Amino acid sequence: MSKRVFYILGLLLILGALLAACGGQNSSNAQPVKTVVVTVEAKGNAASGQGATLKAVKDRGYLVCGVNAQLPGFGYVDKEGNYKGFDVDYCHAVAAAIFGDPSKVEFRPLTAKERFTALQTGEIDVLIRNTTWTLTRDTELGTNFAPTTFYDGQGIMVRKDSGIKKLEDLDGAKICVATGTTTELNLADQMSARGIKYTPVVFETADQVFGAYEEGRCDAVTSDKSALVSRRVTLKNPANHIILDATLSKEPLGPLVRQGDDQWFDIIKWVVFATFTGEEMGINSKNVDKIKAETKDPNVRKFLGLEGEMGQKLGLSDDWAYNIIKYVGNYAEIYDRNLGPNTPFNLPRGLNASWKDGGLLYAPPIR
Ligand SMILES: N[C@@H](CCC(=O)N[C@@H](CS)C(=O)NCC(=O)O)C(=O)O
């Protein structure tokens, strides 16, 4: 267990003892509330405590962002050796908000199994790697989830000629799955709920999982539907594989930070909201300069840093959101660039549409 988790458990125990001693909130002999100061030691690059992460990032001169390196469209390394993808662009957006320069990022490739430890120990400042928000991860890992950037669900891919059409057809099947994922747990739950017997064939990385499936060592492969669509293009004959209609779970994917630095948590949350807001307001990387020069709309002026000092409230400069939109784009641009009709994935927006178009993306007001 990491030192951080240890300290957090310690804090909970002390708070629990205090509450017990005070007999709860309404007790007549309640004691004055004591402040418990817990020192959290973080190793590696990062710092901890209120405001410490932003300071560490600024002093270092770049953000350290934990990403996937094996998921085309989301987090991968292109032929020139550059990290690309939807999640990777969110790392660039954080860098743009802090430095006014999207390139000030160092990427750390992480497997599903490694990712939480890398965040807990301070090896990375933020994890943006197709990670599902769950209650257990929110409460037991010392991490906080920023708003969901991609609403997903778990799916199953099979060979077209296998005759498998629905979950029940997988009785007795071997199913390839990555360890340390919600995928592994959901599969077990869903199959046991339906009384379907199967053999999980477990690997650590996506390359191993999909490599084994391609070699025919499994009858099916399961992952987030986005990951299936992503990895299908890496198979020899993508058209020979189909994704079943069944959705086994909800997989809200988004960035996460360490607990203990609310300023940093706020920054990551509002970077995500800024990308939603840009789309809501019809402001994108192409028209942002013109709009900034001409607008009289107070909401747009606050968003673009012309009034209201919104950035300073986050510890950033007031053009933080302008820089995100200018250098990385609004949500629609980020989505289309990585997953849209001009990419091999051509993923419909679905739940990932703005609330204005009937989707789930909704940003609180910037005011
Ligand atoms: N969203 C799920 C699954 C995430 C996940 O890591 N999926 C696998 C799909 S095979 C993956 O991306 N593996 C890549 C790797 O670990 O290198 C979670 O948060 O647990």
- Write a three-state SS string for 174-240: EEEEECCCHHHHHHHHHHHHHCCCEEEEEECCHHHHHHHHHCCCCCEEEEEHHHHHHHHCCCCCHHH
Rounded to 10 degrees, the C-alpha dihedral 74/283/325/231 comes to: 10
Res. 114: pLDDT tops 90: yes
Buried b vs exposed e over 97-123: b needs ≥16 C-beta within 10 Å?
bbbbebebbbbbbbbbebbbebbbbbb
pLDDT score at 138: 97
**Which of 68, 128, 226 for a ligand 1 pocket mutation test, highest count of atoms within 8 Å of Cβ?**
68
How does residue 126 score in pLDDT terms, banded at 50, 70 and 90? very high
Note the pTM of the prediction, 2 decimals: 0.87
Residue whose CA lies nearest to ligand 1 atom number 11: 206
Mean pLDDT, range 159-181, rounded to an integer: 97
How does residue 49 score in pLDDT terms, banded at 50, 70 and 90? confident
Q: Are strands 150-152 and 251-253 parallel, antiparallel or unpaired?
A: antiparallel
Res. 314: pLDDT tops 60: yes
Mean pLDDT, range 16-35, rounded to an integer: 34
Mean pLDDT, range 118-132, rounded to an integer: 98
Residue 35 CA to ligand 1 center (angstroms) comes to 39
Residue whose CA lies nearest to ligand 1 atom number 14: 206
Q: Which atom of ligand 1 is nearest to the CA of 177?
A: 10
Residue 178 CA to ligand 1 center (angstroms) comes to 6
How does residue 47 score in pLDDT terms, banded at 50, 70 and 90? low
Q: Which atom of ligand 1 is nearest to the CA of 134?
A: 19
Res. 367: pLDDT tops 80: yes
Mean pLDDT, range 10-17, rounded to an integer: 38
Residue whose CA lies nearest to ligand 1 atom number 13: 206
Res. 352: pLDDT tops 70: yes
Res. 27: pLDDT tops 50: no
**Ligand 1 binding site (Cβ under 6 Å of any ligand atom):** 68, 70-71, 111-112, 130-132, 178, 181-183, 205-206, 209, 223-224, 227, 251, 253
Q: Where do the domains of the chain lie, and which CATH numbers do they carry? A: 1-41 (no CATH), 47-152+252-281+331-367 (3.40.190.10), 154-249 (3.40.190.10)
Residue 2 CA to ligand 1 center (angstroms) comes to 22
Q: Which atom of ligand 1 is nearest to the CA of 111?
A: 16
Place of tokens 């959290």: 40
Mean pLDDT, range 352-364, rounded to an integer: 98
Query: What is the rounded distance in angstroms from the CA atom of residue 233 to the CA atom of residue 241?
Result: 10
Place of tokens 């790697």: 129
How does residue 48 score in pLDDT terms, banded at 50, 70 and 90? low
**Which of 175, 183, 184, 204 for a ligand 1 pocket mutation test, highest count of atoms within 8 Å of Cβ?**
183
Q: Which atom of ligand 1 is nearest to the CA of 181?
A: 20
Per-residue model confidence as pLDDT tens digits over 243-284: 999 999 999 999 999 999 999 999 999 999 999 999 999 999
Q: Which atom of ligand 1 is nearest to the CA of 71?
A: 12
